[in-house]
Structure 1
Amino acid sequence: MATLIVIGILSSVFIFGLKTGIGCGFSKTGWKVVFVLCLLYFGIALVAGYFMDAIDVTSFMSSPLASAIHITLALFLLGGGIVTMKKWHAGCDVSNKTFLIMVLPCPVCMAALLVSCVALSTVVELDGIVIGALVGIVFVLSILLTTFVMKNLSKMTQKLHINFAGTPDTLGAIMVFIGLFYLIAAIMIPAYIGASAARSTIPIVFGTAELTVLICVCLLVVFGAALTVAADRSREKSAKGQ
């Protein structure tokens, strides 16, 4: 049972890294920037593991400040996504700037790393710095793997005879859908944490509600990508018709 819980927590960490990987993959940024971001997140995970016993994450996540941060990030993502798509259709690529909204460390990701460290410490008997390193490694692997897949997605889809350009337009669409998810999370997470205050740390991190939220994230990303593909095909047909 403990092994399954550890796997579940690390899987959650992996999924949280997808946002950064998607932002790097669909932008024109190079691998040097990706590696710098990986080192940054790994350092944050080490700090989270070291200070995990000194911070009350549950109280923070259920506070009005956490909701305000979620809403602010959501607005930045929505605005950045819309600007990215509009500029791309106008012949200008601004993804090398707007992708920073997706990839730079945000309070949500840092809280996720901290909560994951706390959860692992209740299951495995390791020093905080070692737990932080483990969480950081999984997060970095998520970023690297997702970035590689997204940067080569057009080549992969061509083998399946699917036309998917993977342009900054796609990045903008995904930013909009993740922004919408953040708006929903701003309402759901504080209410859930407040209702679960009496629970132990493990169910708070790895429970039915958390799995539902993570699945919703994946569905939103897939749905956004599908809409972008459909829009690309529609524009290509219109261009051929003209």
Structure 2
Amino acid sequence: MSDVVNFLTAGVFGGTTLLALKSGVGCGLSGLRRCETLCLASMYALTALIIGAIAGSIPVSATEQVIGLGVVMHLIIGLALVYFGIRTKKAWLADRRDLSRRTFLLVSLPCPACLAATFLSCLVFTSTTGMSGVAAGAVIGGLFFAGITGGGIVTSWITKKAGMDNPSTLGNVMLFLGLFYLLCLLLIPAYLQAQDAPAFGIATDPVGMLRALVLMTALIAFGVFTDRIRHTAERGGR
């Protein structure tokens, strides 16, 4: 039983850290000042504390509704990230208009899907460790605060060093996250249905899989290399 508890606790910590880093990356790519990033991190921490305080008093039926709401909002946010990611990137490349101060909110603000995930994290944490809801909320809030602050500072530093501190980079990240959100909604139901399906032996070809992986990597590297050459030529011609 202790192994299961440790596994669930590690999952809660890992999921919370990923959500915090996602928000921190959005703050770092939007050029927020450090005090603004700290304010957003404090808002996340306070929200997690409040959710933890009320998590234990919510009935199971309401918990199921929260999970359902999180899935629906997951789809909406994924589509919004793709759309506004394209708009952010296009506005910067075509007209040099910076929309990052508004569109980063889709990445960084505590959306309903993040709130549902925070609620489930607090609920699982209290169930597995026996902590009070307030203590669990404080732990989850502390993770959010540290992850958002650290993620924002590190992301801002990396993009400045690499010369990528522009709204186009935020647009690329939003596109990636949006497609990832939508892919998760396709893969998770398929995975759950596969658990009930009879198992079949499938012959695999490791050499062929390796060749396909190498080919995909080469194509991606070629695209990145070509894009860098194009950008270098444009800068040199100005």
TM-score bin, normalised by smaller chain? 0.7 to 0.9
- The equivalent residue for 1:129 is 134
- The equivalent residue for 1:92 is 97
Structure 1 distance, partners of 2:39, 2:176, is 26
Q: 1:167 to 1:228 in 2, by over 3 A?
A: farther
Q: Does 6-15 or 19-28 show the bigger shift?
A: 6-15
Of structures 1 and 2, the larger Rg is shown by 2
- The equivalent residue for 1:75 is 79
One-letter code of the match for 1:128?
G
- Please, which runs of 5 or more residues in structure 1 have no aligned partner? 157-162, 197-223
Quote how far apart the aligned CAs of 1:66 are: 4.1
One-letter code of the match for 2:40?
L
Q: 1:4 to 1:73 in 2, by over 3 A?
A: closer
- The equivalent residue for 1:47 is 50
Q: Does 1:30 align with 2:33?
A: yes
The answer to whether the Cα contact below 8 Å between 2:70 and 2:116 also exists between their aligned partners in 1 is no
Structure 1 distance, partners of 2:159, 2:193, is 43
**Cα RMSD over matched residues?**
3.0
Instruction: Show CA shifts across 1:101-147 (max 9, x none).
Output: 11111111111111111111122121111101001101111101110
Structure 1 distance, partners of 2:181, 2:65, is 17
> What TM-score does the superposition give when structure 2 sets the normalisation length?
0.75
Structure 2 distance, partners of 1:91, 1:229, is 24
Structure 2 distance, partners of 1:228, 1:132, is 42
Structure 2 matches for 1:1-242, cutoff 5 A? Answer: 1=3, 2-3=5-6, 5-53=8-56, 54=58, 56=60, 59-60=64-65, 63=68, 65-89=69-93, 90-154=95-159, 163-189=162-188, 231-240=227-236
Q: 1:27 to 1:62 in 2, by over 3 A?
A: closer
Query: Secondary structure in 2 aligned to 1:84?
Result: helix
> What TM-score does the superposition give when structure 1 sets the normalisation length?
0.74
Quote how far apart the aligned CAs of 1:174 are: 0.5
Instruction: Show CA shifts across 1:14-72 (max 9, x none).
Output: 01112111110011221222122112111111122112130547623663x54432221
Structure 1 distance, partners of 2:115, 2:128, is 21
Structure 2 distance, partners of 1:173, 1:120, is 34
